[in-house]
Amino acid sequence: MRILIVEDDAVLAAALTRALTQAGYSVDHVDNGEDAHRALGNDVYALLLLDISLPKMDGLAVLRRLRERKSRLPVLILTARDTLDDRVAGLDLGADDYMTKPFDLPEFEARVRALIRRGQFDAGKTLTHGGLRFDLEAHRLFYNEQPVELSVRELAVFEVLLSRQGQVVTKEQMIDRLFGWGDDGGSNAIEVYVHRTRKKLEPYNINIRTVRGMGYLLEKSGEAERQEQ
């Protein structure tokens, strides 16, 4: 799950990146509005953390363009501007929440979790496949209410496939979802993570199929059973 930080304070951006990475997110960072606008065109993020006072294009213009594209990406504004007019302007343009600098890290992390949860709730709190249940709020996988132990990356692989079950997910799409710009991730890494995820989920009759030359397919619940009959 990827988060985009748009912040021109390098010290603050590094601190937020470190905290979010430790929490299991992939994080990208840009320090100006034009780069933010370009990055958001990829549509791979679960959350946007947006400063208002930015070089090249201010944060409110970035937000306005995002909403003009009909994007429903959750947006948390982080800014030193603390007047009522500033807060109203951001919220009217479509921001989901607003925090004034300086702020406490635990509260920031709680708001990040809440906004990501809100974005996922459009599809419900859980994703299911056969006897497996993926809790989007806790970011945990269960089988008959017993936890299934996967690494952070393996969980991310399965979440991407589960959200598109019955559809082929390309390696490029997987890379976009799993890795930030500075991460050491690529085609070979995806193959390793998919292999590990597949092996760990085999006991639960989960079939992650490699579609040669295209990507990976999580067969819809019941298809594997029908093919075996």
Identify the CATH number of the domain in which residue 95 sits: 3.40.50.2300
User: What is the average pLDDT across 84-111?
Assistant: 86
Residues 111 and 128 in one domain: no
Count of domains for the chain = 2
Query: ∠ at Cα 101 (139, 98), nearest 5°?
Result: 55
CATH number of the domain residue 188 falls in: 1.10.10.10
Residues 157 and 112 in one domain: no
User: What is the average pLDDT across 161-176?
Assistant: 84
Q: Last residue of a domain, which of 68, 93, 121?
A: 121
Residues 130 and 114 in one domain: no
pLDDT band, residue 61 (cuts 50/70/90) = very high
Q: Last residue of a domain, which of 121, 154, 184?
A: 121
Residues 92 and 148 in one domain: no
Q: Are 54 and 29 a contacting pair, CB within 8 Å?
A: no
Residues 65 and 162 in one domain: no
What Å distances lie between residue 158 and 114, 153, 206, 213, CA to CA?
A: 22, 9, 10, 20
Q: Give the β-pairing of 208-211 and 168-170.
A: unpaired
Q: Last residue of a domain, which of 121, 147, 165?
A: 121
Residues 132 and 218 in one domain: yes
Residues 113 and 131 in one domain: no
What Å distances lie between residue 146 and 130, 142, 208, CA to CA?
A: 14, 5, 21
Q: Which domain holds residue 145?
A: 124-228
Q: Give the β-pairing of 146-148 and 168-170.
A: unpaired
Residues 162 and 51 in one domain: no
Residues 87 and 148 in one domain: no
pLDDT band, residue 229 (cuts 50/70/90) = very low
What global pTM score does this model have? 0.60
- Position 86, amino acid: D
Residues 154 and 108 in one domain: no
DSSP H helical ranges for the chain: 10-22, 33-40, 59-68, 84-92, 105-120, 152-163, 171-178, 187-201, 223-228
DSSP string, 15-67: HHHHHHHHTT-EEEEESSHHHHHHHHTT--EEEEEE-SS-SSS-HHHHHHHHH
Torsion over CA of 104, 25, 119 and 44, rounded to 10 degrees? 130
Residues 31 and 72 in one domain: yes
Residues 63 and 133 in one domain: no
| Widest distance between CA atoms in the chain | 66
The per-residue pLDDT for 44 is 75
Render pLDDT for 108-153 as a digit per residue (tens, 0 to 9).
998 898 888 776 555 456 778 878 888 876 778 898 888 899 888 8
Q: How far apart are CA 99 and CA 34, in angstroms?
A: 22
